[in-house]
Amino acid sequence: MESETKTVLSRNSLSRRRFVRLAGLVLIGGATTSLLAACGGGGGTPAKPAEPAKPAESKPAAPAATTAPAAPAAAAKPTEAAKPAEAAKPAADAKPAEAAKPAEAAKPAADAKPAAQAGPAAKPKSGASLKILMWSHFVPAYDEWFDKYATAWGEKNKVDVKVDHIRNADMPARLAAESSAGAGHDLFEFQAVLQAATYKDKLVDLNDVADAVGKKYGGWTDIAKSFGLVDGQQKALMTYAILQPHIYRKDYFKEVGYDKFPDDYPTLLEASAKLKEKDHPCGLPLANCNDGNHNWRSVLYSFGGAEQSADGKKVTIASDETLAALKYGVELYNRGMTDEVFSWDDAGNNRFLLSGRGSWIDNATSAYITAKSQAPDVYAASAIALNPAGPGSKGARRNGVDANAWAVWKWANDPDTAKAFIVDWYDQWQEWGKVTSGYNSPPLLDMWKKPMPGLEDPDFKIMEDWRELSFVAGWQGPFHSGIEEINSTFVIPNMFARAIRGEGPEAAMKWAEGEYTRIFKAHNVG
Amino acid sequence: MAATAAAYQPRQSMSTREIRKRVLVYAGLCFYAFIAGLPVYWMFITTFKPDQDLYNLRSFPLFFNERGVTWDHVSLLFNRTGYWVWIKNTFLVSAAVVLITLIFAVPAGYALARLRFRGAESLTIGIFMTYLVPTTLLFLPLVKVISWLGLFDKLGALIVAYPTFTIPFCTWLMAGFFKTIPFEIEEAAMVDGCSRVGAIVRVIMPLSLAGMLTVAIFAFTLSMQDFVYALTFVSSSDQKVVNIGVVTELIRGDVFYWGSLMAGALIAGVPVAILYSFFLDYFIKGITGGAVK
């Protein structure tokens, strides 16, 4: 009986050989099915698309309904820019009101009528399709809002709209693939790294959209005017700028004798040195990342160092002001910064702040908003401030900002539908301002009237005075193809890194001048 | 009883040399197991650790800290992303790639190893060399082919693209494996009346099971590891594979959802690792098969 049981067991037990055979059969079956499904007409799995990613852990603070708009402060002018950052902030310790549900705050308003009828001739074509490629926004509630809005817009206009999101760092590779394939999406958004000149022959001219939207909203801001303009054609259109305030620890600054964030760079250096002694250094990335680009541009511009002349024809990077900025950078690194900065990516300074060690960083408000859910202690002890003013006669408060832009591929299913979508999206500026707590900074003049949507919260109020302090790459001239390459090859952070690593400010500046001259020549600029 | 004790005595009194040897062997094994297992353990801890503890420098990263355990990261992964769809896509693509690779690599490896035609050796090396061309160079020309086939932004794009690097490597691997099987066995089968195909099916294939399993494992692993093709050929959320899905939707520029990222990697990786353990003997036999003749 016992031996019989053993025989039965051995017959029924799964030997390794039998398991392998079984696994092989399952594999072959699955592979054949998937092959047929994946290469079939529908493409891919027939599965119902999952709900797009909505990691809404870091909901932005929505404006409190009861918050009365603050009395509008006088618009900051470059000459007045050295005013204390805190002055524009009614209550430093006030916390944002409880976040409203993003879904409610971001209620799609596709049916909303434009304020004025100045739309372009382009109208959405009934029955057309529109595939949109977006970056995964740093404020996830925006993606949630955008996806709903795009769907509602599609239903209203009988257009089949599909939105895909990918990581911003992966956007250039994806665009290269779409450009090479001559297929993919119809409408997409450049994120920080503008490549309008690179793809100029493959992008639809958006002059008509720029004119129509500009007329409707009182014209484009200074930084938006030349952004995406290639050989007189608007190949990309600024969606919004991303302001870069300084996010600092109020408690640490207070510990070393500063009740508020310093208003000028020399004072900031002294404060940073004291903070580093208490193991609370600061950090600006000295690496090839977007944060490195705009962080060091803020320093450079505030000291008066310009990349090119106002007409964009002459390289002006080699100047006494640039030299002063570089010397400042060396001193700030030696006396006040953490040495991790050489290895940082765009998230490096966020982690540094959230760890509780860092005393201040220069970053978009996403770092501050995220702290609310991921490190509430850090959030409670932090605040945002304008970047300081540079010294000297040419010194001022100038903030290097990132900006994004719409673009339409020439192979778009129906370019007019894409254009109509862009126009209607600008009409939603109040919605996307609110849902991002002002992270999306508008590119049109009429949108800068106070109170601005999303900035009702006392913590964000100072950003209402930011328009005249904001500069995209290429200051003091326009954003052209040469600047586009300089920005995407990170010449400015590399210049500062070279100076700090031991080459010295003079040699680093000379190297940068060589790079600017070479790139300008390659692009026939000047 | 006394006799039994006497019989076991030599085992109990292990020489000092033997003890030292065992201690060293197990110490070495423990060290490697620790090195290999640490990342997985860290992923596990991160998956269930609240954000506040994750970002606190005073919290020891390898233990749960004062705020204990949270399911938020796992919940976010399953409820607010298309994780299950990505997992399904990954296994479908990988399984299809394994099948295609076996269909091409096994006969090609056999031909290169056993048909004794001129230039077979150089051709084997040449085929392997194509594997060394990085995908970052190939994706732009390949995207034109994918587009021409009408597969851009479809899972089919990956099923067509991945064999371009799995077949060369696996052909080389199979050629090395076939060389270890004595010609005499195949010839004996043919003398006994088998055709060449019959000899392959009845004799060579059963003997090559270890090699084919190795090829299957490699093809599966390489498919799951790719990033460039998956990123550039597919962008729709419902067409993504897991290695792209978690990265593109849980890293938002400067905001990383560490817990959910680790959960995504852990859940996709651990079952595959367990599955591999079933095939470990075959895998070792297959990969070392060509080493000695």
For residue range B135-188, list pLDDT tens digits in order. 888 888 898 899 899 998 889 999 999 999 999 999 998 998 888 888 888 888
Percent of chain B scoring above 90 in pLDDT: 39
Residue B9 banded pLDDT, cuts 50, 70, 90? low
CB distance from A183 to chain B under 8 Å? Answer: yes
- Answer with the residue of higher pLDDT: B257 or B281: B257
Query: Which positions in chain A touch B76 (Cβ < 8 Å)?
Result: 55, 57
pTM of the predicted structure, to 2 decimals: 0.74
Nearest to B155 by CA among A297, A40, A443, A510: A40
Average pLDDT, chain A: 81
Q: What is the pLDDT of residue A72?
A: 30
**Which among A55, A133, A376 has the least Cβ separation from residue B257?**
A55
Helix/strand/coil for A490: coil
Residue of B52, B144, B248, B261 to mutate for A, most A C-beta atoms under 10 A? B248
* Residues of chain A numbered 311-340 and touching chain B (CB < 8 Å): none
A510 touches B: beta carbon within 8 Å: no
CA dihedral angle for residue B88, residue B91, residue B93, residue B94, rounded to 10 degrees: 170
Work out the average pLDDT over B40-55. 91
The alpha-carbon gap from A347 to the nearest alpha carbon of chain B, in Å, equals 4
Interface test with B, best of A166, A353, A362, A369 (most B CBs within 10 A): A166
A90 in helix, strand or coil?
Answer: coil
Query: What's the pLDDT score for residue B181?
Result: 87
Q: Tokens for A315, please give them.
A: 């390289």
CB proximity A84 to B under 8 Å: no
CB B236 within 8 A of CB A327: no
What sign for the dihedral angle of Cα B129, B130, B134, B137?
positive
Q: Identify the closest residue of chain B to A35 by CA–CA distance.
A: B96
pLDDT band at B290 (very low <50, low <70, confident <90, very high): low
Residues sharing a CB contact under 8 Å with residue B131, sequence separation 6 or more, in sequence order: B165, B168, B169, B172
Predicted confidence band of residue B66 (pLDDT cuts 50, 70, 90): confident
Per DSSP, A232 falls in state: T
Q: Higher pLDDT residue, A82 or A25?
A: A25
State the average pLDDT over residues B212-220: 90
Chain A residues with CB under 8 Å of B255 CB are: 58, 138, 140, 347, 350, 366, 370
Closest CB to A45 among B139, B238, B255: B238
Closest residue by Cα to residue B229 from A37, A181, A31, A410: A181
Q: In the predicted model, what is the mean pLDDT of residues B246-259? A: 84
Residue A417 distance to chain B (closest CA, Å): 20
The mean pLDDT value for A415-444 works out to: 94
The length of chain A, given as a count of residues: 526
Q: Which residue has the tokens 């371009």?
A: B164
Q: How many CB pairs under 8 A join A and B?
A: 223
Cβ-based contacts of A350 with chain B (< 8 Å): 254-255
**CB under 8 Å to A507, separation ≥6 — which residues?**
A498, A499
**How far is residue A68's CA from residue A71's CA, in Å, rounded to a whole number?**
9
Confidence class for position B114, pLDDT limits 50, 70, 90: confident
Residue B4's H or E segment, with its range, is: helix B2-12
Helix (H, G, I), strand (E, B) or coil at A223: helix
- Contact with chain B for residue A284, Cβ under 8 A: no
- Which positions 26-55 of B are in contact with A (Cβ < 8 Å)? 51-52, 54-55
Which H or E element spans position B173? helix B163-178
Q: Which two tokens stand for residue A2?
A: 């016992």
Rounded distance, CA A322 to CA A302, Å?
10
- CB-count exposure of residue B152 (10 Å: 0-12, 13-18, 19+): buried
- Position B291 scores a pLDDT of 53
Q: What angle do CA A215, A216, A219 make, to 5 degrees?
A: 50
If you search the block for the tokens 């192979």, which residue do you land on?
A411
> CA–CA separation, A160 vs A129, rounded Å?
4
- Residues facing residue A166 across a β-bridge: A135
pLDDT tens-digit map of A8-49:
444 445 565 566 566 556 555 655 554 555 444 333 333 333
Q: Do A28 and B99 touch (CB under 8 A)?
A: yes
Which residues in chain A touch residue B249, judged by CB atoms under 8 angstroms apart?
A: 52-53, 55, 136, 165
Residue (of A191, A136, A133) closest to A163 by Cα position: A133
The C-alpha atoms of residue A87 and residue A464 are separated, in whole angstroms, by 13
CB A189 within 8 A of CB B273: no
B70: confidence class by pLDDT, cuts 50, 70, 90: very high
Question: What pLDDT sits at residue A512?
Answer: 97
What residues contact residue A483 under an 8 Å CB cut-off, 6+ apart?
A: A307, A308, A312, A473, A474, A477
**Structure tokens, A399:** 């903030």
Nearest-Cα residue of chain A relative to residue B237: A164
3-class SS letters over chain B = CHHHHHHHHHHHCCCHHHHHHHHHHHHHHHHHHHHHHHHHHHHHHHHCCCHHHHCCCCCCCCCCCCCCCCCHHHHHHHHHCCHHHHHHHHHHHHHHHHHHHHHHHHHHHHHHHHCCCCCHHHHHHHHHHHHCCCHHHHHHHHHHHHHHCCCCCCHHHHHHHCHHHHHHHHHHHHHHHHCCCCHHHHHHHHHCCCCHHHHHHHHHHHHCHHHHHHHHHHHHHHHHHCCHHHHHHCCCHHHCCHHHHHHHHHEECCEECHHHHHHHHHHHHHHHHHHHHHCHHHHHHHHHHHHCC
Side chain identity at residue A263, one-letter code = D
DSSP A124-161: PPTT-EEEEEEE--SSHHHHHHHHHHHHHHHHHHT-EE
Cα distance between residue B124 and residue B130, in whole Å: 10
- Of the partner residues A35, A182, A347, the one whose CB lies closest to the CB of residue B159: A35
Return d(Cα B88, Cα B94) in angstroms, integer. 10
Mean pLDDT across A139-168: 93
pLDDT on residue B289: 61
Helix axes A320-336 and A290-302, enclosed angle (nearest 10) = 120
Tell if the CB–CB gap between B238 and A47 is shorter than 8 Å.
yes
The answer to whether residues B81 and A55 touch, using CB atoms and an 8 Å cutoff, is yes
B 183-212 residues inside an 8 A Cβ radius of A:
209
CA distances to A12, A13, A14, A383, B2 from A6, rounded to whole Å, are 10, 10, 14, 73, 35
- Residue A308 sits at φ, ψ, to 5 deg, of -155, 165
Q: Which of A30, A44, A363 shows the shortest C-beta gap to B239?
A: A44
Report the complex ipTM. Answer: 0.72
What's residue A113's pLDDT?
Answer: 38
Which stretches of A235-282 are assigned E, i.e. beta strand? 237-242, 246-249
Which has the higher per-residue pLDDT, A93 or A450?
Answer: A450
What's the pLDDT at B266? 93
The residue assigned the tokens 């007045």 is A80
Strand order in the sheet with A360-362: A360-362, A246-249, A382-385
Classify residue B269 as exposed, middle or buried by CB count within 10 Å of its CB (0-12, 13-18, 19+).
Answer: middle
Tokens describing residue A133: 């490629």
Q: Are A431 and A57 in contact (CB under 8 A)?
A: no
Judged by average pLDDT, the poorest of A78-87, B152-161, B280-289 is A78-87
State the helix-helix crossing angle for B163-178 and B280-288, rounded to 10 degrees.
70
A-contacting residues in B 76-135 (Cβ below 8 Å): 76, 80-85, 88-89, 91-93, 95-100
Residue A305 tokens, joined = 């160092």
Residues of chain B contacting A281 with CB distance shorter than 8 Å: none
Residues A249 and A352 sit within 8 Å (Cβ to Cβ): no
pLDDT at B95: 94
Determine the Cα–Cα distance for residues A31 and B96; give it in Å rounded to an integer. Answer: 4
At residue A170 the predicted structure's pLDDT band, cuts being 50, 70 and 90, is confident
Q: Chain A, 369-388: which have a CB under 8 Å from a chain B CB?
A: 370, 373-378
Which residues in chain B are contacts of A370 at CB distance < 8 A? 255
Q: CB-based contact (8 Å) between A113 and chain B? A: no
pLDDT score at A21: 63
Query: Residue A33: its chain B contacts at CB < 8 A?
Result: 92
Per-residue tokens: A291? 């944060």
Question: Cα(A435)–Cα(A141) distance, rounded to whole angstroms?
Answer: 6
